[in-house]
């Protein structure tokens, strides 16, 4: 089987989520990549070095600068004429583009796969991760999105794929990019961090969240996350949200501070290697999944912890 | 302008789903069912656009069993004008739902279709994008802000790194994220009024759509359970544990 993997990038470098998708694709067959962007030749060069990659299709055109699904999907459909499976990481771009491609190919997509069980068989989470379904596709071609935390990352080096330019399919004229507000942070990215410190509604407000959580995260070199309740209450921006409807993470260490442990949140972090919970309510559901729990008032415990590390 | 809002009847988001012992799926008997939360946000957004004077009619549609009429009545009680149920007891996959919606869009010609970004049962996150593809129209997925400006709709999207704003030529498809709005509750008088609002019932066959599934579910299991670990007495003990792990 020949697979075509969507390379997640910012026109400068390959994002880590791509590497997990490459691993999933390699379990299906031959791995080809698609780098679609503007001024992204450097990305294609870097992508060609990913271990196990055959060909890298490079579509370098202004129409692809912001990965608008309306422009990218026809390009993917064209390339799917000689590929059997389209594999995208379940990033916001992947989730936006893949179903558009699937419908154009008249294929029912398999979303957010956790494992490859056979040439057309996958496991995937449903009901916020409370039920894991094994599904088999009967479509002629496959379209899948890959949950990044469920697959090992392919080695970013060691490959020697060939970069091949492909003709752009042009601007569909349906949509245009206006602006982006990208949060700038010195901290590691949530989805690839080794340690995450997450705060919940108990943090009271934005300034308290900042004053309590950030120093601990900085001490540990950790990324900062938040529960949906904390994001909805406006303590931190939406891109901090960990959970079924936010980011799915699986770091080495996840420290949940003042998070009760709603199903929705647990679905986003329960694959973390070690979970540490600090909460003053000893009956909080978070303690049922935590490896190490500390029942304490976070406003005393967290500064003390930060001071003693 | 008309706005079409598809809604799905799903297990209530407060209910913890139980996997059936025979591994064929999730037990839905005697379980509270409600409107998919993302769809409630979609209904609310459509009503707000109508109330702001940018639309004349909000049509809600559901694909599902006869009981999905309750879900449609909820949307009518919130303020939608009329409803269409495409009735089937079969499980309908997103691709087939998108084909059914395409047929309704062609009949109704709405300027906007607003959908939830995903249903909290199958968590597919596909229908809106698929509908946009089948119609050859633009898509504004994971919306946290929607502004109608003449023949364009400007959508702010929740993306991995933060927010992104795109401008779409209408007719357009929008899918909602959590922070788009806070859906209203239906008042008792509105619930009474909703009972008299028109609700059409059709079948997938009426619309000429083949809903045969493409995916076969081989089994459904509970996820691996994590067992609770230990509790430490104080911060010093936690620091010691972190040092043992090499974290600090």
In which band, very low, low, confident or very high, does the pLDDT at B155 lie, cut at 50, 70 and 90? very high
Q: Any idea where the domains of chain B sit in the sequence?
A: 2-244
Contact status of B79 with chain A (Cβ, < 8 Å): no
Is A265 annotated as contributing to ligand binding? yes
Inside any domain, residue A174: no
CATH code of A234's domain: 3.40.50.1220
pLDDT attached to residue B248: 73
Percent of chain B with pLDDT over 70: 100
In which band, very low, low, confident or very high, does the pLDDT at A188 lie, cut at 50, 70 and 90? confident
Partner-chain residue, chosen from A99, A106, A308, that has the shortest CB–CB distance to B235: A308
User: Average pLDDT for residues B152-167, to the nearest whole number?
Assistant: 95
Between chains, do A92 and B158 touch, taking CB under 8 Å as contact? Answer: yes
Contact status of B221 with chain A (Cβ, < 8 Å): yes
Each residue's pLDDT tens digit, A30-78? 999 999 999 999 999 999 999 999 999 999 999 999 999 999 999 999 9
Domain check: are A87 and A194 in the same one? no
Domain check: are A156 and A19 in the same one? yes
Is A132 annotated as contributing to ligand binding? no
Q: How far is A138 from chain B (nearest CA, A)?
A: 5
Inside any domain, residue A129: yes
Domain check: are A86 and A223 in the same one? no
Residues of A in contact with B142 (CB under 8 A): 92, 95-96
Residues of A in contact with B140 (CB under 8 A): 175
C-alpha span between B9 and B65 (Å, rounded): 9
pLDDT attached to residue B110: 98
Each residue's pLDDT tens digit, A1-38? 999 999 999 999 999 999 999 999 999 999 999 999 99
Q: Is the pLDDT of residue A163 over 90?
A: yes
Domain check: are A155 and A237 in the same one? no
Give the domain extent around A97: 2-165
In which band, very low, low, confident or very high, does the pLDDT at A113 lie, cut at 50, 70 and 90? very high
Mean pLDDT rounded to a whole number for chain B: 96
Between chains, do B232 and A294 touch, taking CB under 8 Å as contact? Answer: yes
Name the more confident of A128 and A217: A217
Contact status of B244 with chain A (Cβ, < 8 Å): no
pLDDT attached to residue B206: 97
CATH code of A79's domain: 3.40.50.620
> What H or E segment, with its residue span, contains residue B103?
helix B94-108
Domain check: are A107 and A229 in the same one? no
Domain check: are A137 and A199 in the same one? no
Q: How far is A234 from chain B (nearest CA, A)?
A: 10
Q: Is the pLDDT of residue A183 over 80?
A: no
pLDDT attached to residue A272: 93
pLDDT attached to residue B16: 86
Domain check: are A42 and A134 in the same one? yes
Inside any domain, residue A171: no
Residues of B in contact with A98 (CB under 8 A): 129
Supply the pTM of this predicted model.
Answer: 0.94
Between chains, do A93 and B159 touch, taking CB under 8 Å as contact? Answer: yes
Which of A86, A104, A108 to probe the B interface (max B CBs under 10 A)? Answer: A108
**How many domains is chain A built from?**
2
In which band, very low, low, confident or very high, does the pLDDT at A121 lie, cut at 50, 70 and 90? very high
Each residue's pLDDT tens digit, B94-125? 999 999 999 999 999 999 999 999 999 999 99
Question: DSSP 3-state helix, strand, coil percentages of chain B (rounded to 5)?
Answer: 30, 30, 40
pLDDT attached to residue A257: 98
Strands B139-149 and B9-11, by their bridges, are unpaired
Residues of A in contact with B235 (CB under 8 A): 294, 296, 301, 304-305, 308
User: Average pLDDT for residues B64-88, to the nearest whole number?
Assistant: 98
Q: How far is B45 from chain A (nearest CA, A)?
A: 17
Angle of helix B235-244 relative to helix A298-308, nearest 10 degrees? 40
Between chains, do B168 and A174 touch, taking CB under 8 Å as contact? Answer: yes
CB atoms under 10 Å from CB of A140, counted, come to: 10
pLDDT attached to residue B7: 98
In which band, very low, low, confident or very high, does the pLDDT at B246 lie, cut at 50, 70 and 90? confident
DSSP string, chain A: -EEEEEPPB-SSSB-THHHHHHHHHHTTSEEEEEEEESS-HHHHHHHTTSTTEEEEEEEE-GGGTT--HHHHHHHHHHHGGG-SEEEEESSHHHHHHHHHHHHHTT---EEEESEEEETTEEEEEEGGGTEEEEEEE-SSSEEEEE-GGGSPPPPSSS--PEEEE-------SSEEEEEEEEPP-SSPPGGG-SEEEEE-GGG-SHHHHHHHHHHHHHHHT-EEEE-HHHHHTTSS-GGGBBSTTSB----SEEEEES----HHHHHHHTT-SEEEEEES-TT-GGGGT-SEEEES-HHHHHHHHHHH-
Chain centre to alpha carbon of residue A48: 21
Partner-chain residue, chosen from B93, B163, B167, that has the shortest CB–CB distance to A175: B167
Q: How far is A54 from chain B (nearest CA, A)?
A: 28
Between chains, do A176 and B219 touch, taking CB under 8 Å as contact? Answer: no
Q: CA A34 → CA A4, A9, A109, distances in Å? A: 7, 11, 18
Q: Is the pLDDT of residue B228 over 90?
A: no
For the ranges A114-118, A120-124, B129-133, B178-182, the lowest mean pLDDT is seen at B178-182
Each residue's pLDDT tens digit, A207-255? 999 999 999 999 999 999 999 999 999 999 988 999 987 888 999 999 9
Q: Is the pLDDT of residue A187 over 90?
A: no
Between chains, do A99 and B129 touch, taking CB under 8 Å as contact? Answer: yes
Mean pLDDT rounded to a whole number for chain A: 95
Q: Give residues 140 to 199 of B whose Cβ lies within 8 Å of A.
A: 140-142, 144, 154, 157-169, 177-179
Q: Is the pLDDT of residue B182 over 80?
A: yes
Percent of chain A with pLDDT over 90: 89
Domain check: are A49 and A110 in the same one? yes
Q: Is the pLDDT of residue B136 over 80?
A: yes
Let me know: does B85 contact B201? Beta carbons within 8 Å. Answer: yes
Each residue's pLDDT tens digit, A254-278? 999 999 999 889 989 998 999 999 9
Superfamily of domain B2-244: HUPs (3.40.50.620)
Q: Is the pLDDT of residue A185 over 80?
A: no
Closest CA to A174 of B44, B231, B133: B133
ipTM of the complex, rounded to two decimals: 0.96
Q: How far is A68 from chain B (nearest CA, A)?
A: 9
Find the residue in A nearest to B248 (Cα): A309
User: Which one of A165, A181, A204 terminates a domain?
Assistant: A165
Domain check: are A155 and A260 in the same one? no
């Amino acid at each position: 089987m020949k697979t075509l993997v969507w390379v997640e990038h910012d026109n400068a470098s390959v994002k880590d989520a791509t590497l997990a998708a490459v691993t999933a694709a390699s379990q299906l067959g031959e791995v080809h990549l698609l780098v679609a962007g503007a001024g992204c030749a450097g990305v294609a060069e870097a992508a060609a070095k990913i271990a196990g990659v055959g060909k890298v299709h490079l579509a370098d055109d202004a129409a692809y600068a912001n990965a608008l699904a309306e422009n990218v999907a026809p390009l993917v459909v064209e390339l799917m004429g000689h590929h059997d499976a389209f594999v995208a990481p379940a990033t916001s771009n992947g989730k936006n583009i893949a179903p558009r491609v699937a419908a154009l190919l008249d294929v029912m997509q398999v979303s957010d796969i956790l494992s490859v069980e056979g040439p057309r068989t996958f496991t995937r989470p449903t009901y916020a991760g409370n039920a894991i379904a094994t599904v088999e596709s009967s479509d002629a071609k496959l379209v899948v999105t890959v949950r990044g935390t469920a697959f090992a990352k392919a080695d970013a080096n060691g490959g020697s794929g060939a970069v091949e330019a492909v003709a752009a399919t042009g601007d569909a004229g349906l949509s245009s990019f206006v602006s982006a507000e990208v949060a700038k942070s010195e901290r590691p990215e949530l989805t690839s961090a080794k340690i995450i410190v997450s705060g919940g509604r108990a943090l009271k407000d934005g300034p308290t969240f900042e004053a309590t959580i950030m120093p601990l995260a900085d001490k540990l070199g950790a990324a900062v996350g938040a529960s949906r309740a904390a994001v909805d209450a406006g303590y931190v921006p939406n891109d901090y949200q960990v959970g079924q409807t936010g980011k799915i993470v699986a770091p080495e260490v996840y420290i949940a501070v003042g998070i009760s442990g709603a199903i929705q949140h647990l679905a986003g972090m329960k694959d973390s290697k070690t979970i540490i919970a600090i909460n003053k309510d000893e009956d909080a559901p978070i303690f049922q999944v935590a490896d190490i729990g500390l029942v304490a008032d976070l406003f005393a415990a967290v500064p003390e912890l930060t001071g003693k590390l | 302008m008309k706005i079409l809002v598809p809604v799905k009847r799903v297990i209530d988001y407060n209910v913890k789903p139980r996997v059936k012992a025979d591994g064929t799926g999730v037990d839905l008997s005697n379980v509270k069912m409600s409107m998919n939360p993302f769809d409630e946000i979609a209904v609310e957004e459509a009503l707000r656009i109508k109330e702001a004077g940018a639309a004349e009619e909000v049509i809600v549609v559901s694909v599902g069993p006869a009981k999905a009429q309750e879900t449609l009545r909820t949307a009518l009680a919130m303020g939608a004008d009329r409803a269409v149920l495409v009735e089937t007891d079969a499980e309908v996959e997103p691709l087939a739902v998108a084909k059914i919606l395409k047929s309704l869009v062609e009949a109704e010609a709405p300027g906007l279709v607003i959908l939830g970004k995903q249903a909290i049962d199958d968590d597919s996150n596909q229908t809106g994008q698929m509908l946009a593809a089948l119609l050859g129209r633009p898509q504004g997925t994971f919306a946290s802000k929607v502004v109608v400006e003449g023949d364009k709709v400007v959508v702010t999207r929740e993306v991995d790194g933060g927010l992104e704003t795109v401008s779409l030529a209408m007719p357009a498809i929008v899918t909602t994220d959590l922070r788009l709005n806070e859906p209203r509750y239906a008042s008792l008088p509105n619930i009474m009024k909703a009972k008299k609002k028109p609700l059409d019932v059709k079948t997938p066959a009426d619309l000429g759509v083949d809903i045969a599934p493409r995916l076969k579910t081989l089994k459904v299991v509970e996820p691996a359970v994590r067992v609770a670990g230990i509790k430490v007495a104080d911060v010093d003990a936690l620091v010691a544990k972190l040092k043992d792990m090499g974290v600090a």
